[in-house]
Structure 1
């Protein structure tokens, strides 16, 4: 389709990138704008085969997703669906996710490109990146060759319901503590045995118990001990670190480091190693007064399309979280879908069409039009 629409395709790592050159008059100034969407769909432990179906003119009430298997989307569990009475809904067959996260954004971008060229709409330089592996740690965005994505700012389309925009996310990292103990037979272990599992237990006990996922909300950060494995000789502890505030993020890393140092003092004969990895940053840290136009334009585009912006401080990260750390401010806006990562995922087509309208409006605004 990219070739059909005369957009040169550029390969970069495992990403597909394309450039639609500006058609504005020579000398006209317009920012170079990028759009990014991810190709992969989450593995939610459901069937890998997706069988979408369309409910035309939803009349309200529970939706039978799969008559044969008696699978339903119940209004009691998903009352949001009744906000779309009269709308066409794309739903699952109850055995898998829908895949609107994020195939709906790919469809949005491709449809917008087709309309722009088919109707010869004015536009500046447009760059597109379709990336894999967002769901497993933004791995696809990290393989973009940014020399071939030379934009002033970009947008991802990967949020949820109508109106949602995201330009605030966690600062995110991971940590791993490896403990090498000293083994000994229990009959002669006094003064010899160093139990790495107990050492790991002591380490976890030194972390802040109220700053965990189950104790936090909104912009509150956390340290999540999400894995521990070990035996008589070795034990490893894995953690995820999240905080919207960069200083808070650094403080959590410092606490983990201090706990590891204390562990070395308490268990001098153990071999203890700690490693950190910064995974992505808060988009807000990349938004400055001099480059905030990307957010202002998005809010203006939504206003012109009659969509009220819903600003979210996302408790997570998206491709834009990494792209923004590369000096490219990249806010995110809605696809329109609900219940991502669920067999009750659904897409109201009126919301998808609004998302497409916002994309087209952004193209017009960045080209100096309305």
Structure 2
């Protein structure tokens, strides 16, 4: 079987296991589908002859492929089991279609088309075979393409093991706060540095991510019957909307780009008694994140002063950190990655990721972990797509990282 066929076959097999994460769940993993996928991968790793395979109750799978090069660094690969819940179907029906440079029908029954005018990023792939969903779900290349790359790599590494030790981790619930990476026992993933393979188009390299925090704000109002509300009632919903209105409308995800941070007013629920607001805070610079936290706290103080008969409370929790600091402390993972891409004639596109990966957590925990592209585009979208050429380039890059 050729590389593309094996990559595609494995990818489709992993897509057949529904593994959306669920942010409403407090368990780890948040969904049982991730446990099923973890069990499948552990079984396949056993068949491939890896050592120290562990599947724990949190659906985290770790293993080691022992090498014979004692002078080589111990490298790791980590990929996440979950697909993002973005309100689409959890059932993924992948298909390989030839893109001929014109609008392409993903689903004739539901009349779902990928329009080139709306998605010009597909235009360089005219004349190529591309994997799509049927338009009712995400494709799930984020991150099952990465799982397919890693498993194909392990199946095809030379039997003489002429490489250093290669550590593998598959972790749950990356899409909902990197919960799996935070719980990962690093004694089971004892590498010198690692790579996430996650999202990102052909050639994209991530050496920097956001610093991230989450603010949970509770507005406790004063609830009385409308007949006696004058001068007494304090509506918590209006408290929350007044609070939001006090921020710069241009300091939001949809109006910032590049290295600009933002406040994302993510969720608001309310009743007569209280309103709960979730705010995501993002900034590439540590000082910038600290200033944003203080800005939010000051807004909370002002809101409390404006409504003296009500209450406002705020809890801010750090979510993940910029991997950039660890990249400066240990340049080897980035150097090896860029050298591998140069050898494969892949032009690197080094981008500051306006988000985070499991590598953000691992880097903060002492394992420098940049991100390698899967080759996919439009992740978290029904129009996510994965060109087979880019998919194979991701595999080739991972392979060269092991053998160089």
- CA change 1:305–1:121 in 2 (3 A) is farther
Larger Rg: 1
Q: Is the 8 A contact 1:159 1:166 kept in 2?
A: no
Runs of at least 4 residues of structure 1 off by over 6 A? none
Asked whether 1:341 is paired with 2:380, we answer: yes
- CA change 1:96–1:234 in 2 (3 A) is closer
Query: How far, CA to CA, are the matches of 1:108 and 1:247 in structure 2?
Result: 37
Deviation of the 1:191 alpha carbon: 4.8
Aligned to 1:107: 148
Aligned to 2:87: 45
Deviation of the 1:117 alpha carbon: 4.2
Q: Alignment length, in residue pairs?
A: 359
Aligned to 1:18: 63
For structure 2, list consecutive stretches of 5 or more residues without a partner in the other structure: 1-43
- CA change 1:67–1:117 in 2 (3 A) is same
For structure 1, list consecutive stretches of 5 or more residues without a partner in the other structure: 366-370
Aligned to 1:368: none
Q: Is the 8 A contact 1:14 1:143 kept in 2?
A: no
Question: Greater shift after overlay, 195-204 or 344-353?
Answer: 195-204
Aligned to 2:296: 256
Deviation of the 1:275 alpha carbon: 0.5
Question: Greater shift after overlay, 184-193 or 88-97?
Answer: 184-193
Q: Is the 8 A contact 1:207 1:256 kept in 2?
A: no
Asked whether 1:54 is paired with 2:96, we answer: yes
Question: Which SS does the other structure have where 1:287 is aligned?
Answer: helix
Query: Which has the larger helix fraction?
Result: 2
> Which residue among 195, 200, 203 is the counterpart of 1:163?
203
Q: Tell me the TM-score normalised to structure 2 length.
A: 0.83
- CA change 1:85–1:237 in 2 (3 A) is closer
Aligned to 1:96: 137
Q: Is the 8 A contact 2:61 2:169 kept in 1?
A: yes
Aligned to 1:353: 392
- CA change 1:191–1:348 in 2 (3 A) is closer
Deviation of the 1:68 alpha carbon: 3.2
Q: Tell me the TM-score normalised to structure 1 length.
A: 0.91
Higher relative contact order (CA 8 A, sep 6+): 1
Q: Is the 8 A contact 2:66 2:161 kept in 1?
A: no
Asked whether 1:284 is paired with 2:327, we answer: no
1:64-105 superposed Cα distances (whole Å, 9 cap, x missing partner): 222333332222222333322332222222322221111111
